[in-house]
Chains A and B, each alone.
Chain A
């Protein structure tokens, strides 16, 4: 890792002093190595998805698709998630509306996680001690990593713009959209780097950075849903994306605001970094604790301890999001009641009860599977990380079978998933009741429990990955939920064949509480989940332990 840095302070063997920039270049090369794989993957998705949608939009029969598109676009749930549609008749405008928020969230969250991983993660593991024994000072090492991360985010933006230009959309809009996506990635990276300076643990820093980003998403939803609060758009990268309106208004000012945000965040991160000790942080939890506060004597207690804090963190985010969904319920449905033509079109396109509160929350409860699936996948990924770090070695030297510990952990994770779903249902019901919308607690509960089989498939996929691809637990575990949701949206929008749509777990759950529970679908999902989990447990029992 330190090969090539600082051979000697005086002169090298050849009799020349080492070049002053050499150590810095080595650190930059290290940072590039740490982020390049993820950057390439995210660039491929961020370039490919919008390009694919734009190309498909051109090939669509506008006469046939127009009605269902309009219905979908005016679905309040879809509006809540994707923002109000502008320039739907333009391939670029349609693409931005359809994929913009999803891509921006993906790029922002990836950048925030990558930033905390390569800065605080490396520091926490003690690997930066080796680097810092060289000639570079701590803030310089941090800034070099941050520059590489910002460059990676910019690369993603360039990819998005290039993909859209190649797909034949207007160049101005494509470049603006690419800049906004890259800028959102930069905000994520800078947020991650700042959180990593404030908090001494990588997990906490990642949670803080992603939490702030998702709060930005909520802010945009509030600004979309409540006209009086429209100025809130300026406080969120996702709101700025909407304000800029690529392919429609092509405004540049929001981009300038985005760039200013990045500059401020980087400056604050550098300031904090210059004032703190390596391995520490101003918001550090105390190392010493009062003795005997909590007992920890059994595996279930350990599993509960592992799951407890993440459940609280994810639960707070899910609760806030769905409270907002509940509070916006009447705003969205009022719109449809005032625009009966849209409701009519929606009914023709097969979206029954779209104009009702039940139809609205049912569509959004479906989306709940994505964050809860992300939660279970991240918890199984944490088990994989424990294994690599050697934290399971002592545990497995006790009379503890691997399947017993994993089953204990998974029970905690499953309980956490049910709690998260319950929090979502409760929050929606509270919000809807507050604004006087017609939603019973039972209907809300049925709606959230209805998506848990998709989460079970995520859990199964993550456990199977733990057995056979332990380095890829998180992406493979999230795939059924995040990938399945994207697949369904694309298949519905672009009229893909039924069997492709059927690959998505979301094709097999009913829109509860608007529709009846799809019992065969749920049973099928649970069977798949059980098969994946059983196969994963069997594989995990037999394989070599890493670390």
Chain B
């Protein structure tokens, strides 16, 4: 949670639930995203990410709880949608309309569009707008929706796996656009499978698992909860143990050779550094877990999932 929560969050969900006959798609989800924040929304297929987003957009009615966009209830789409722009995971356009007609329509009916910036975005995403959308590939349809969304001045951008059809060049362009939007003060709610992308642009992430929000934290905070991996190379062999085994937070101590050791560390590194200070250290490598490792930690094997602070067996 942000330290100083502003009066009106860009997005606020409280005890949000959605049931489809027998299955529970989203279960008691509470979440708040502050204005200006770039928030990553993670989860495997079928975790309920798109269902949550469709409730935010008022396309689905929650079975329980409620969700607000800048303080406006999501079902009041006439008002709530003046504050947001959306890119769906699977962009469907009317096949007979051209890309330009789609863009014009979205701008004409939408929450206000910067037409000069839109023209720039069409260039940057290398979109040919004078083709019927019937002839567009998945990536091109996605570009139409991305250009339309980024060109708005809507304070909240809701992006549901927006880069799944883009090539690496376009993905780089997408990251730039997110950064530019954040610099303008726009809030970005990014649902994604591309962990590198989330890692590159998001400050805070929420992790969804089987419809439940299992973690919401800043990326740094999240890493701190996990163990970082420390590799040490020494100049001269030392006696086994070397006084490291008992240090606070250290585990998995392994000697690869008499002069090489690895360990994992939870919590602040000061005690370990103090213990290492007495040894003749040639090289020290501290590696923070990548988001992918964190993600796999959460989902890797459903039964043996480690919880906060615990170690993987």
Chain A residues with CB under 8 Å of chain B are 200-201, 285, 287-292, 294-299, 301-302, 305-306, 386, 389-391, 393-402, 404, 542-545, 547
Contact = CB atoms under 8 A, between A and B. Distances in A.
A292 B129 CA distance: 10
B13 to A, nearest CB: 17
Contact of B93 (A298, A301, A391, A545): A391
B59 A544 contact: yes
Contacts, number: 107
Nearest to A541: B75
5 contacts: A289-B130, A297-B104, A394-B92, A400-B78, A544-B60
Given A287-B131, A289-B98, A399 B81 contact: yes
Given A290-B130, A291-B100, A297-B104, A401 B92 contact: no
B95 A201 contact: yes
Interface string B93-105: 1111110110011
A214 B271 CA distance: 88
Contact of B86 (A301, A305, A397, A542): A397
A483 to B, nearest CB: 31
Ranked nearest first, the 10 interchain pairs of A and B with the lowest CB-CB distance are A297-B108, A287-B135, A397-B86, A390-B92, A399-B81, A545-B59, A296-B101, A291-B130, A391-B92, A544-B60
Contact of A289 (B79, B85, B132): B132
Contact of B77 (A298, A299, A302, A400): A400
A394 B59 contact: no
Given A289-B98, A398-B111, A544-B61, A296 B82 contact: no
Contacts of A543: 61
Given A201-B134, A394-B145, A399-B81, A295 B104 contact: yes
Given A296-B105, A394-B148, A400-B77, 9 more contacts: A288-B131, A294-B101, A296-B97, A391-B92, A393-B59, A394-B145, A397-B57, A400-B109, A544-B60
B147 interface: no
B85 A391 contact: no
Nearest to A285: B132
A490 to B, nearest CB: 40
Contacts of B218: none
A288 B145 CA distance: 19
B61 A396 contact: no
Contacts of A292: 100
Nearest to B80: A399
Nearest to B129: A291
Nearest to A126: B138
B108 to A, nearest CB: 3
| Chain A binding surface SS class | loop
A296 B105 CA distance: 6
B91 interface: yes
B81 A398 contact: yes
B249 interface: no
Contacts of A200: 134
B81 A400 contact: yes
B61 A394 contact: no
A399 B82 contact: yes
A545 B91 contact: no
A398 B130 contact: no
Interface of B: 54, 57-61, 77-82, 84-86, 88, 90-98, 100-101, 104-111, 128-132, 134-135, 145, 148, 158
B158 to A, nearest CB: 8
Nearest to B144: A394
Contacts of A396: 57-59, 77
A287 B59 contact: no
A308 to B, nearest CB: 10
B131 A399 contact: no
B92 A389 contact: yes
Nearest to A400: B109
A399 B111 contact: yes
A201 B88 CA distance: 24
B106 to A, nearest CB: 7
Contacts of A299: 109
Given A397-B84, A401-B78, A544-B61, A287 B134 contact: yes
A162 to B, nearest CB: 39
Contacts of A547: 92
Contact of A288 (B88, B95, B130): B130
Nearest to B107: A297
Nearest to B112: A399
Contacts of B145: 394
A268 B58 CA distance: 49
Contacts of B130: 288-291
A404 B88 CA distance: 22
A395 B77 CA distance: 11
A172 B61 CA distance: 59
Contacts of B134: 200-201, 287
B123 to A, nearest CB: 15
Contacts of B98: 289
Contacts of B57: 396-397
A287 B131 CA distance: 5
Given A302-B105, A400-B109, A393 B92 contact: yes
B190 to A, nearest CB: 15
A398 B109 contact: yes
A201 B135 CA distance: 12
A200 B57 CA distance: 34
B132 A287 contact: yes
A120 to B, nearest CB: 13
A306 B105 CA distance: 13
B189 to A, nearest CB: 13
A295 B88 CA distance: 25
B58 A398 contact: no
Given A289-B131, A391-B93, A399-B79, A545 B60 contact: yes
Contacts of A291: 100, 129-130
A350 to B, nearest CB: 49
A397 B104 contact: no
A282 B33 CA distance: 52
Nearest to B18: A544
A393 B85 CA distance: 12
B122 to A, nearest CB: 12
A397 B81 contact: yes
B105 A390 contact: no
B160 to A, nearest CB: 10
Contacts of A397: 57, 81, 84-86, 88, 158
A545 B53 CA distance: 13
B88 A296 contact: no
In this complex, which of A201, A299, A543, A544 has the most chain B Cβ atoms within 10 angstroms of its Cβ?
A544
Contacts of A386: 94
Nearest to B78: A401
Nearest to A298: B108
Given A296-B104, A297-B108, A399-B111, A545 B77 contact: no
